[in-house]
Amino acid sequence: MPKFLIDANLPYYFSLWNNADYIHQKDINDEWEDEQIWQYAKENNLVIITKDSDFSNKILLKEPPPKVIHIRFGNMKMKEFFNTITAIWPQVIEISNTHKLVNVFKDRIEGID
C-alpha cells in the first residue's frame, strides 16, 4: 500500500519514487484540484510530496493526516533535481516521520511540528 502521494507538479518518471510506497497523482486523476488531492491523501493516510505552497500553508493550520513534504527549490534540470533529491531523501523521510511538514530546500531541510 502506498505511503506517499506525489503531486502532479513533480516528475512522473522518477526512479527514486518508482516503487510500491509511492503513487503519483497521474495514476489516480491528474485533473484533481488541491482539495481533492488533500482529501484522498487524508483518507488513505498518505504523505503529500509537492512543490505547491498551498499544501504547506494548509498543513500549518491542520493536523495530520495528511503530512506534507514541500520541495522548495526553484527550477532546475532533471539531472540536478534527481541528484539533489536522491542525496537527501533518506533524511527527508526520517524527518517526515516526526513532523507534519518538511520543507526541502537545496541547502537545508526543515521539519515543522
Tell me: pLDDT of 70 over 80. yes
Instruction: Let me know if residue 11 belongs to a domain.
Output: no
Instruction: Let me know if residue 1 belongs to a domain.
Output: no
Write out the residue range of the structural domain in which residue 31 sits: 20-76+90-112
Number of domains within the chain = 1
Instruction: Let me know if residue 30 belongs to a domain.
Output: yes
Instruction: Let me know if residue 69 belongs to a domain.
Output: yes
Tell me: pLDDT of 66 over 80. yes
Cell of 90: 533518506
Cell of 11: 516528475
Which residue matches cell numbers 504547506? 56
Reported confidence tier of residue 74, pLDDT bands at 50, 70, 90? confident
Instruction: Let me know if residue 15 belongs to a domain.
Output: no
- Tell me the pLDDT tens digit for each residue of 26-49: 999 989 999 999 999 999 999 999
CB 51 within 8 A of CB 34: no
